[in-house]
Amino acid sequence: MNRLRIGIVGVGYLGSLHARVLSEIDDPHVDFTGVYDIDPQRMEDIAKRYNVKAFPSLDALLDETDAVICAVPTTEHYRVGIQILEAQKHLLMEKPITETVEQATRLVETARQKGLKLMVGHIERFNPAILAVRDKITFPLYIEALRIAYFNIRGTDVDVIRDLMIHDIDLTLYFTREEPISISAVGAPVLTDKVDIANARLEFPSGTVATLTASRVSIKKTREFRIFQRDAYFSLNLMSRNGHMIKRGDEAIIPYFLNMDGSTEPLKLEDMEFIQSIVEDRDPHVTGEDGLRALRIAKMIEKEISKKLAKLEGEET
């Protein structure tokens, strides 16, 4: 088999982590060729650190790669993503897939027409706590997610729903395997002009209810995900990557501490999955369609919040 040549566009915070991960993948069939970033200093630093090429343009990177990881800011995802796919290269796009549903639909359709892999970086799917329970979740009745973070200017090109809540939207859709029939939400712009804190309640056709809370204006950091179904309760800490399950035992009600395999970091599992999906010519674990579905729900939540905020403003004036 030919070597799979892979490159990264955008080597800021997350792109530089992808660069470290790619440099650690010890596979003779994979060749980390290089990086491109509009910030030349940053690009040179990363290229030097991992001993790969710093390309003078995205086109130059595309000429020498078969697959690209795209970690530019979300506002650039579509413009850069479509250029990658048009050049006939496989694409791992960071989350959220794009800013708008129309853009995401175009990326998904372009990848499909060209027979390319399009994966989206919903990294929590590779969290050991999620991997430990995914086969045990049969019919979730209730899901509760709490994701709160310190304020950080990175990510504020989009609101907290597309920045943070999108992770829990993706997990909820993954576990329910359904689209919600009703959505209600509240939110507020606290520190930026976009919504910084939000809560959404989703109801699904088979009866599952999910409540998701996301904030980027907190003084502590939490990522909790809880699920209950008829026979079990799962409490997962996605930050410390552990959790427990409560279910009825033969003689007592006992908590089972879930057996996590934390030997490989989620970002590495994600990048390896992207590579494997290309090598094995199969769908990746998180497809472009998954990214599109999560974005569509994020947009519906945003719409509900906008309606409420507009009503409040109307009442104030």
Ligand X SMILES: NC(=O)c1ccc[n+]([C@@H]2O[C@H](COP(=O)([O-])OP(=O)(O)OC[C@H]3O[C@@H](n4cnc5c(N)ncnc54)[C@H](O)[C@@H]3O)[C@@H](O)[C@H]2O)c1
Minimal distance, residue 2 CB to ligand X, in Å? 26
Q: Give the pairing of strands 142-148 and 222-229.
A: antiparallel
Does position 279 interact with ligand X (CB under 6 A)? The reply is no
38 near ligand X, judged by CB under 6 A:
yes
42 touches ligand X (CB under 6 A): yes
Separation of alpha carbons 118 and 108, rounded Å: 7
Residue 12 binds ligand X, judged by CB under 6 A: yes
Least separation in angstroms between residue 17's CB and ligand X is: 8
**Should residue 37 be labelled a site residue for ligand X when binding is judged by CB under 6 A?**
yes
Closest to 64 (Cα-Cα) out of 106, 103, 104, 8? 8
Helix (H) or strand (E) holding 225: strand 222-229
Distance in Å, CB of 288 to ligand X, minimum: 15
Q: How far is the CB of 291 from ligand X (least distance, A)?
A: 11
Using CB under 6 A as the binding rule, whether residue 164 contacts ligand X is answered as no
Give 13-17 contacts, CB < 8 A, sequence gap 24+. 13/154, 14/71, 14/94, 15/46, 15/69, 15/71, 15/72, 16/46, 17/267
DSSP code of 279? Answer: H
Which of 80, 68, 66, 67 shows the shortest CA–CA distance to 38?
80
Closer residue to ligand X in complex, CB, 158/245: 158
Kindly state whether residue 11 participates in binding ligand X, applying the rule CB under 6 A. yes
Assign residue 128 a region (left: φ > 0; alpha: ψ between -120 and 50; beta: otherwise): alpha
Which residue among 24, 27, 39, 179 contacts ligand X (CB under 6 A)?
39
- Interacting positions 56-75 with ligand X (CB under 6 A): 71-74
Q: Pick from 7, 10, 81, 128 the residue near ligand X by CB under 6 A.
A: 10
Q: Residue 9, interface with ligand X (CB under 6 A)?
A: yes
Within 10 angstroms of residue 131's Cβ, the number of other Cβ atoms is 17
Examine residue 45 and tell whether it contacts ligand X (CB under 6 A): no
Closest listed residue to residue 62, CA positions, set 46, 32, 84: 84
Q: Are 258 and 137 in contact (CB under 8 A)?
A: no
The answer to whether residue 151 forms part of the interface with ligand X (CB under 6 A) is: no
Residues in binding contact with ligand X, number by CB under 6 A: 24
Question: Using the rule CB under 6 A, is 46 a contact of ligand X?
Answer: no
User: For the window 91-120, what string marks contact with ligand X as x by the rule CB under 6 A?
Assistant: ---xx-------------------------
Residues contributing to the site for ligand X (CB under 6 A): 9-15, 36-39, 42, 71-74, 76, 80, 94-95, 121, 123, 154-155
